[in-house]
Structure 1
C-alpha cells in the first residue's frame, strides 16, 4: 500500500525562502526547476490531498483520553449545554507527547471540532499543535474534511459509498454526508494529480502523445469529480445544513452579526499568557488545495473583482491567496512549487500556433478543454449547491420546530422536497443575483466569488466553450 510521507513543517513566513531555495536547486542540465514529487508534499497519487493511510480514528495514548472521551459524547454535551463545563475540567495537556504526523492531525481535528468556546485547557494545546502543523487554530477544511474520515470496509474502495465521517458536531446524517462528499471529491482527484505531474515531464520532453495520454487519464478522474458534488442533494437536507450545521463552520472574522465583535479569546495564549483575541476565517471549500492545484495545471487565472461589479483588476484574487494560510503547510508548499513548473496551457497554445491542423494537436486541444470543462461543471454545481443550501434557506427562514431537525425537517414529504427543487431550478439566475452581498463561511461575497471562479475557468479553454 502506498503511504504518503510528510514534508517538513513549512511556516508561512518561510514560503518565499522555500521558493528561492527551490530555484537554486534547478536542474543544471536544462535550467528548469525540478518537477514536484507528490509524496514530498504529503500528497498521495491514490487519494490526493487526503491521507492514503487514513486519518487516525482515535489517539492511542491514554494521556489524551479526556479529549477523546469528550468527543465520544460531543453531540450530547452540545445539546445539553454541558460542553463548556466539560472542557473547563480538562487538564492542560502537552502536545509534544504527540509523536507522529497523523496523531497531530487527529489532535487538531479533535480540538477544532470541540472549539469555539476556547477555555484555557482547549486553547493552549490547540494553538500549540496548530503551530507544529503550521495551520490556523480554527475549524478548517483540513480538520473537517481532509483528516476526518475513514473507510467503512477497510479493504474496500476509496469511494463515497465506502466512506464515513469520524466526528461531527450535530450527530446528524446530514452533517456526515456533507463532510464525506467533500472528502470523496478530494480522494477522486488523487490519481489525476499523478497524471498531471507526469504531463509536466512529457511537455518538457516535447512528447505530445504522452501529454495526450496523461490528459486522458486525468480526464477520467476529473469527470468523476464533477459528478460527485451533485450527490450532496441525496442525504443532506438544505434546512438542516443552513439552520443547524452551518453555524459551526463560521469563523471569528467578519462575524459581528453573530455577536463576535472582537474575535475570540484564546485563554492562556499570548505574551505572558495574556488572553489573546484572534480572528480567523471559517471552514470553507475554498481552503481545499485540489482546485488551486488544478487551476495551476490548466492555467486558470483568478483576478480581483471590484465591489458590486463584474469588472476585474490585474491583481490575483486576494481571498484565494488568503485561504492558503488555512491549508496544510506541505500542500501550500506544493502549490508554490507547482506555480513555477506548470506548463500545460502554454504548451497547448504553442502547438496550436505552430501546427493547428495536426491531428495530434487537435486531439491535444480537445482533451485539454475537456479537462477544463470538468472543472467548470464542478463550479457550476457548486453555485447550485450554494443557491439551494444558503440563498433559498435565507429567503424562506427557519422551518417550524427547526430547533430539532432530526424530528421536524426529516418529516418533509417527498412532494414538498420535489416542489422546492423545481422552484430553485426555475429561478436559479434570480437567486444568484439575490445572493449579492451574502457571505460564505470563509467570509467571501458568495455569488460574485463563485461565479467569477466559474467564468475564469471557462476562459482557460483553448477553443470555444463546449455546449451542454
Structure 2
C-alpha cells in the first residue's frame, strides 16, 4: 500500500502465507474493512420500500413518522439477497430501520414490528451476527470514499446516518479511517508472533517498534474527532440511536426488545448497541500484546448481583462482544489467540542484549496502547460526561435524557451504547492495558 511502511518479510513465501491466511478470514488489504466500498443500495427493486425509508430516515425521525412508515410496509423476503455484499447491505439497512423505530418516538418501543424483525433475524442468522446495530453495521459496511485510500479521513463519508448531520458522518468515518490505518500492522504482527517460536528477537523488535508508530497514528486520527463532530450534537442527536437494549431499563427498555421470527414465535432480546469495543483491530492488538481484560462491562448493580449469586462464569465484555463482530473476523481472533502472545516471551528470564531490547520495545508498545485508551477516555469525557451534566428540556426518553436526569448525577451511573457502566469500564480497560507492560519474570 503506497505511503505506508511495508509489512516485515524475511522471505516472500512466509509473507504470502500470511496474506492467504488473512484472505481466509475475510481480512483484506484494508484490514477488517472490505476490499471494496460497501454497496450503497440493494440492487433488486424489490427492496425499494426499505431503501426509501432509509433515504428519508433523518427527516422521519425529526417528524417522528418513522414508526408509521415502517408499519405501512409488509414483510419482505430475504430470498432475493444473493451475494455476501447484499446480505451485508441488508444488515446495514435493517439495523438503521430497527434503531430508528425503537428510539424514534417520545418513548422507546419495546416491540419491533414483523416488517423489520422477521427479515432482520434472517439476515442476522445468515451473517451470524446479532439483530442490532453493531460496529459492522455502523462503520465497516457503511461508508463511501472519494479516493482509493480508505485511510484518507477527508475523503470518507458515511452512507447513512440517523441525524442527517455531518457530525454523525464524521463520527463514523473516524473509525473507518482508523481501521484502514491499522491494516498494515496485522501481517506484521502475525510474523512477530511466529518469530516468538524461535526467539527471533530482531523481527519482534522491528514489529513492536512499527506497532508503537501505528498506535500513535491511530491516536492522531482519534484526536481529529473534534474537527467536525460537535459534542452536543453527538450526545443528543446521534448517541441515543446507537443504544442497544441491554442495561437500558432507565431509557425505557426494562425487558429489552420483543422480536417476532415470522412463525409466530416471540422472543425478548437484550443486546448491546454499537460500540468501538466491537472493533476487531483493537482486540487484535490486545491479543498479540497479551493484554487481558476481566470486566463484564455491567453496571455496579449488575456486577454485585453476579458476585453474590451464581457461581457460573461470566465472560468478560471483550469476550462477549466478539459475537458482535463479523463471523470470519472473530474466527481470526480466535486463531491468533492460539498463537500465543509476545508478552509470554517478554516475560521470560534472560539477559541477552536483544532480549532486553525486545522487552523495552514490548513495554513501549503496550504503553502506547494504554495511552491510546487514555485518549479515548478524554474523548468520552468531552462527548458524553460533560454533555450529560447539562440538563435538557423535552419529553423524549432515550439514552441521553435518562443519563442527564440521573438522580445520582455520577459518572459511575452513565451507560455506554454497548450497555457498559461507562467510566468504570473504560478505566479498568485502560489500567489492564498498562498492567500488561509490568511483567513478572518467568523461566
Paired residue for 1:185? 178
Work out whether 1:40 is the aligned partner of 2:24.
yes
Q: TM-score, normalised by structure 1?
A: 0.78
Work out whether 1:344 is the aligned partner of 2:342.
yes
Structure 2 regions of 5+ residues with no counterpart?
2-17, 102-111, 308-312, 397-408
1:373 to 367, 372, 377: 367
2:228 to 228, 235, 257: 235
Deviations 1:49-103 (A, max 9, x none): 1112221111122222222222222112222222222222323222132111111
- SS across alignment from 2:205: helix
Paired residue for 1:322? 320
Paired residue for 1:280? 271
* Deviation for aligned residue 1:126: 0.8
* Deviation for aligned residue 1:110: 0.5
Paired residue for 1:89? 72
Paired residue for 1:8? none
* Deviation for aligned residue 1:181: 0.9
* Deviation for aligned residue 1:316: 7.8
Assess if the C-alpha contact under 8 Å between 1:438 and 1:447 holds in 2: yes
Work out whether 1:384 is the aligned partner of 2:375.
no
In the comparison of the two structures, how many residue pairs are matched? 393
Paired residue for 2:310? none
Work out whether 1:63 is the aligned partner of 2:54.
no
Work out whether 1:458 is the aligned partner of 2:442.
no
- SS across alignment from 1:265: strand
* Deviation for aligned residue 1:140: 0.9
Paired residue for 2:388? 394
Paired residue for 1:299? 290
Paired residue for 1:355? 351
- SS across alignment from 1:300: coil
- How many angstroms apart in 2 are the aligned matches of 1:143 and 1:177? 15
Assess if the C-alpha contact under 8 Å between 2:78 and 2:122 holds in 1: yes
* Deviation for aligned residue 1:157: 5.1
Paired residue for 2:401? none
Deviations 1:422-465 (A, max 9, x none): xxxxxxxxxxx94123211111111111011111111111579x
* Deviation for aligned residue 1:383: 0.9
Assess if the C-alpha contact under 8 Å between 1:380 and 1:454 holds in 2: yes
Assess if the C-alpha contact under 8 Å between 2:113 and 2:259 holds in 1: yes
* Deviation for aligned residue 1:207: 1.9
Assess if the C-alpha contact under 8 Å between 2:258 and 2:266 holds in 1: yes
* Deviation for aligned residue 1:36: 9.2
- How many angstroms apart in 2 are the aligned matches of 1:395 and 1:258? 17
Aligned pairs (5 A) from 1:189-200: 189-200=182-193
Aligned pairs (5 A) from 1:402-421: none
Assess if the C-alpha contact under 8 Å between 1:192 and 1:217 holds in 2: yes
Work out whether 1:111 is the aligned partner of 2:94.
yes
- How many angstroms apart in 2 are the aligned matches of 1:157 and 1:284? 20
Assess if the C-alpha contact under 8 Å between 1:252 and 1:263 holds in 2: yes
Deviations 1:232-275 (A, max 9, x none): 122111111111111101111222212223322224x16x4234
Which range moved further: 204-213 or 302-311? 302-311
Paired residue for 1:262? 255
Deviations 1:27-68 (A, max 9, x none): xxxxxxx99922211112x32211122211111222222222
CA distance 1:462–1:255, change in 2 (3 Å): closer
Aligned pairs (5 A) from 1:114-133: 114-116=97-99, 117=101, 118-133=112-127
Assess if the C-alpha contact under 8 Å between 1:108 and 1:130 holds in 2: yes
1:54 to 37, 54, 74: 37
* Deviation for aligned residue 1:127: 0.7
Paired residue for 1:430? none
Deviations 1:378-402 (A, max 9, x none): 100111111111111111223x799
Q: TM-score, normalised by structure 2?
A: 0.82
- SS across alignment from 2:157: strand
- How many angstroms apart in 1 are the aligned matches of 2:314 and 2:166? 38
CA distance 1:148–1:446, change in 2 (3 Å): same
Structure 1 regions of 5+ residues with no counterpart?
2-33, 404-432
